[in-house]
Structure 1
């Protein structure tokens, strides 16, 4: 399964965000530092700081050669990775932006965060097209369905709200979690959506109707990231409890726990974000312990 391959040090503060690069042997990270960092998977080493930032970065989202950078200040930077220059600064949110996603068929960017609203941006000219309130408190996470017809918002009130991408109308509300939602992912199979919360539970929502299929007491504390393997029937979860767990994406069997407390290599503090390399050979995790760990899939 997974084996620790390398620990990448260089960040001076907690790391909150990860992104793939156009070059599959590179990736990006950011957090409570003053810049977005490029790393090499081939060399397992620091490459450079690609762009400076003025406040903490809570999310990175790449679309082809564009990297969108969500900041605590409420600003969203648009960086051209090929030209290595800043294209635009998107200003709307008055508080921290926690997540960014794109709706491909509409050529639009969605952003949300601490102000409880969703902003819709044009990817043609980066203008603000539309914005709407969700609730008066934090919206933490956005997930786009595989067919891009719907998207899910996870909020501080513990409710998951499903919206239509066509007109941004509210479709349904899912209740079941008892604490704020911290992670959501649609399964590659299209059969279900999975959510994680500060209540440490994973919930499986059967599609297309979003009926709750099962509840899994997965971790001890908040589940901050869910990442499906790009080609194999597995997914990973990580938590404030400092552990990474590997699960079957078909029967939800637990296969592996990566944690210092379980006697394996692991992070020393909360794990905030994970992603797989595009070839599925590496799982990359970022933590409050200021490190990025590379796990080799065997």
Structure 2
């Protein structure tokens, strides 16, 4: 019944309310009511008081007593409220109230840097300064936690253990910067990219580290005074022995019989699931497992990355089959290197075993193995993942100018090599024997290209002729020659499989049919670039819309396949462009290399 006399703020209530005059009290409403509970007078001194707050940045509980009010007036505290409590503010409706059962919420101001230092000190050392306020009104006057360790460290926090600049400079001056001419290994050039050794956590440990480094330098100086043979033997033993407790970022394996070596340069050989770099990444914004050439391709405009590692010119570039997540390169420095195309784009592995410059490389259809041929008259089969040299071919034979795996699954264990002694040799990698010879060319054979659904292959030679062969038959089924025809050191199959483009030595790129009659297409002829007497690679875009090649002045040319018109001329190197290859899955990415050592990546 007391609700009848309730005075609300609603306008509807004001209109419908029953107003009683002062001389007409209602009999339904009691004259007075005290609903407050009985509270002992002495307990009000420690009762919780609800106070307002300005912002909602942090929560701190406070109780009102005479001691806390006294501490708030002190000036030497580490933290205090941003805005002191005012009784008048509590009645303002605009102030946001944060009331809780046992106190009030209030913003506090404190030094963030000091808090982080003390937090880090407590995590690493087990002690920190107590932020509570003592009886004298001072915060941080005592330590809490592991007091014994604090006594040993004289109460120093984590920011006091780092050596000063003079000590750091003294240690850095004793570290070897390496040889700029050495790329990998212990003596490689480190420069400003060298990682510092782990700093000590106390001045005593730091002095011990400096003493140990002095002893190591004295031992190294004594070792240098020995003769060359002793030094070489000690170096070899040191390289062969790897401490199991020391983490290494590069692992080497070597074959003592012929001297092939491999070295891993990446950050880690396996990821958290135990997968190596052979696994096609799936955390990208592109599906690398789809069939190449399904999307429209565009001509690149700018350079997005540069791989450096070869000491001389690059002679071969091959993307990993279908996915293209790895890039294999060969150089005049007799080295073969494997690069990461995505993620860190770092050098993953190097393969060493050839005594002279590498002429050509080729991936197997599944990418697990690759072939390499060199001026040292050897052909070697490598394991892409482990870097092991599996087999060696062609010992005592002539130099191989080009090598190609048979793409057909039933013949994936065989490959052919274009030799400088006018022959084409067919090898079986299982028996390491020559199973067939093709010997109708009159001069050195330059290229091998599989055509007609990989049932046949086409070869070019310095005798200025093109011959087409059936697999396993030493009789050419097609012979193409012309008095005006020049030697063709580079041939590429069109993605449609119906045409081949051949770079001629007279500044032209000629087109021939890749099926049936293998006839020259006189209507398609690509010109406009200057390349007299040099062998530059010819390549197609994955969708077949563009033909690309380099010239002797460092330019990359992009022609329209239908109109044979030059669509773009891009400066990519400072000298002859020897290699150009389009990424099989990307829509506008191209890798180029030349007589200068860098490998450029364009988009």
The TM-score bracket by the shorter chain reads 0.7 to 0.9
Matched, 1:265 2:522: no
* Equivalent residue, structure 2, for 1:65: 325
Shift of 1:167: 3.2
Deviations 1:175-211 (A, max 9, x none): 1111111111111512311000111110111235343
* Equivalent residue, structure 2, for 1:127: 388
Shift of 1:220: 3.5
Could you say which structure has the larger radius of gyration? 2
Matched, 1:95 2:356: yes
Instruction: Select which of 12, 34, 48 maps to 2:305.
Output: 48
Shift of 1:41: 4.5
Shift of 1:243: 1.4
Q: 1:167 and 1:240, CA in 2 relative to 1: closer, same or farther beyond 3 A?
A: same
Q: 1:90 and 1:43, CA in 2 relative to 1: closer, same or farther beyond 3 A?
A: closer
Segments of structure 1 that go 5 or more residues without pairing to the other structure are 1-21, 25-39
For 2:394 and 2:455, the matched residues in 1 are separated by: 29
* Equivalent residue, structure 2, for 1:253: 519
Larger mean CA deviation between 47-56 and 109-118 belongs to: 47-56
Q: Report the TM-score when normalising by structure 2.
A: 0.40
Contact kept in structure 2, 1:115 and 1:139, CA below 8 Å: no
Shift of 1:75: 0.7
Instruction: Select which of 426, 432, 438 maps to 1:162.
Output: 426
SS in 2 for 1:223: coil
Q: 1:190 and 1:268, CA in 2 relative to 1: closer, same or farther beyond 3 A?
A: closer
Matched, 1:283 2:547: yes
RMSD value over aligned CA atoms? 2.5
Contact kept in structure 1, 2:365 and 2:405, CA below 8 Å: no
For 1:48 and 1:106, the matched residues in 2 are separated by: 24
Contact kept in structure 2, 1:110 and 1:121, CA below 8 Å: yes
Q: 1:56 and 1:199, CA in 2 relative to 1: closer, same or farther beyond 3 A?
A: same
Instruction: Select which of 471, 487, 496 maps to 1:222.
Output: 487
Larger mean CA deviation between 270-279 and 99-108 belongs to: 99-108
Larger mean CA deviation between 125-134 and 270-279 belongs to: 125-134
Segments of structure 2 that go 5 or more residues without pairing to the other structure are 1-283, 287-296, 563-603
Matched, 1:239 2:468: no
Higher relative contact order (CA 8 A, sep 6+): 1
Instruction: Select which of 463, 467, 470 maps to 1:199.
Output: 463
For 1:238 and 1:106, the matched residues in 2 are separated by: 27
Matched, 1:113 2:370: no
Q: Report the TM-score when normalising by structure 1.
A: 0.78
For 1:154 and 1:75, the matched residues in 2 are separated by: 21
Contact kept in structure 2, 1:111 and 1:119, CA below 8 Å: yes
* Equivalent residue, structure 2, for 1:7: none
Deviations 1:137-181 (A, max 9, x none): 421101121212421101111110011233332111111111111
Q: 1:165 and 1:278, CA in 2 relative to 1: closer, same or farther beyond 3 A?
A: farther
For 1:152 and 1:199, the matched residues in 2 are separated by: 19
For 2:427 and 2:497, the matched residues in 1 are separated by: 29
Q: 1:158 and 1:73, CA in 2 relative to 1: closer, same or farther beyond 3 A?
A: same
